[in-house]
Amino acid sequence: MLQGKHILLGITGGIAAYKICTLIRDFKKAGADVQIIATPNALNFVTKLTLQNLSQNEVFVEEFNVKDWKPEHISLSDWADIMLIAPASANTIGKIAQGIADNLLTSVACAFSKKIILAPAMNVNMWNNEAVQQNLKILQMRGVEYLPPESGFLACGYTGKGRLCSLDKIYNAVDEALNYSQMYKGKKVVITAGGTIEEIDPVRYISNYSSGKMGLALAKTANDMGAEVVFITTKDFDVPFKKVLVKSALDMQNAVNEEFDSADYIIMAAAVADYRVKERSEQKIKKGEQNTITLELVKNPDILSELCKRKTSASLEGELSEGQRAGIIVGFCAESENLMENAKAKIEKKGCDYLIANDISRSDIGFNSDENEVTILDNNGAIKKISKAPKNVIARKILECINTK
């Protein structure tokens, strides 16, 4: 599965560096091309000559050893399909988390826009240090994956957590990361995000606290998995795929409807306002002398329900035209009480294929949080809970769960 893949391997200064020689050999046997970046301290534990012989490539150490007018930290980043740092020292983890690029390895990591996997190894007290744990959390929220060290006897004489995890775990993580990206290849995934804005007058509006972060995480992850992504959002995120910027529920409905026929998946992660003002004022409403003001509201269309009805109708009546697909429709529900009871009622009422239930009563996973905890329900009654994790991790697990291939 690694045949022809480009693996960029970073090695930092730690006794576990000697173990990586076996991993390099395994990658090469599987047909991968391996380029190695070693920190100067890494060469205290394993020689440059050994690494060159095993990888059959030059080993990069110096920051400014520029060839062909291509700075190495950019050319290596462009070349690689994935970046693995093993062992990853506390020092290197901290630098990458804080955006410090003071050697070739950290410079490449700073410039790297694809998947990064870390395999930490260090003394147990260093591993348990609050700063190290916070740095790992920062990296995880940015989409960096790390493989926790194992417990046992350490080279420093301590016993505890800090040993480099097994080479099989590292190998399998790289293999999975390089190949899972094909899961949505050839699929079109439409994802909505953010809270809709329903204008009252030119300066006021009705909306909600949705940040759009969960929808963004889903869109980025689907893109990484090879999908053609259409991102319909009320938040102007900078993304490398098609973005449709909308404001109101009606805007969002029109944008989703335009993509419906060609979509393999529609994921409604946006928080759509239930109501809008019946008549928007063209001028700013003046405060006046009255102590109260009355706004007449009307219901917004239920975008999710109407999509599900449209899919069901077309499928039952055999009205799918050439090129039209009966895509998978995924809804979201945000509840402050009776989460599962409300979620079960909603998936039955809406008729979607999957429903992602969120508990917004918790401050640690509610609106604007970088983490989430969700429960996935499907229309056959199956329920799967995904424990609290960064939203990019939650996004990957959701996309893996709903993938029907």
Cβ pair 277, 248 in contact under 8 A: no
Q: Please give the pLDDT value at position 305.
A: 96
Length of the chain: 405
Respond yes or no on whether the N-terminal peptide bond of residue 240 is cis (omega within 30° of 0). Answer: no
Q: Poorest-confidence range of 23-27, 74-78, 184-188, 220-224?
A: 74-78
Percent share of the chain, pLDDT over 70: 94
**pLDDT exceeds cutoff 70 at 405:** no
Q: How confident is the model at residue 362 (pLDDT cuts 50, 70, 90)?
A: confident
Span 40-53, average pLDDT: 96
Q: What pLDDT, in 10s, does the model give residues 69-112?
A: 555 667 888 899 999 999 999 999 999 999 999 999 999 999 99
pLDDT grade for 289, boundaries at 50, 70 and 90: confident
> Where are the domains positioned within the chain?
6-180, 188-402
User: What integer best gives the mean pLDDT of the chain?
Assistant: 90
How far is Cα 160 from Cα 153, in angstroms, rounded to an integer? 7
Ranges 155-159, 177-181, 277-281, most confident:
277-281
Q: Which residues are catalytic?
A: 156
CATH number for the region 6-180 comes to 3.40.50.1950
DSSP H or E run through 317: none
Same fold, 6-180 and 188-402: yes
As to burial, measured by CB atoms within 10 angstroms (0-12 exposed, 13-18 middle, 19+ buried), residue 332 is buried
pLDDT exceeds 60 at position 217 = yes
Question: Which helix (H) or strand (E) segment is 29 a member of?
Answer: helix 20-29
Q: Which residues of 83-117 are buried (b: 16+ CB within 10 A; e: fewer)?
A: bbbbbbbbbbbbbbbeeebebbbbbbbeebebbbb
Which of the two residues, 176 and 46, has the higher pLDDT score? Answer: 46
Burial of 276 (0-12, 13-18, 19+ CB in 10 A): buried
pLDDT at 369 over 90: no
- Please state which of the ranges 21-25, 290-294, 301-305, 327-331 shows the lowest mean pLDDT: 290-294
Percent of residues in the chain assigned helix, strand, coil, to nearest 5 = 35, 25, 40
Second CATH level (architecture) for the domain 188-402: 3-Layer(aba) Sandwich (3.40)
**Mean pLDDT over residues 315-343, rounded?**
78
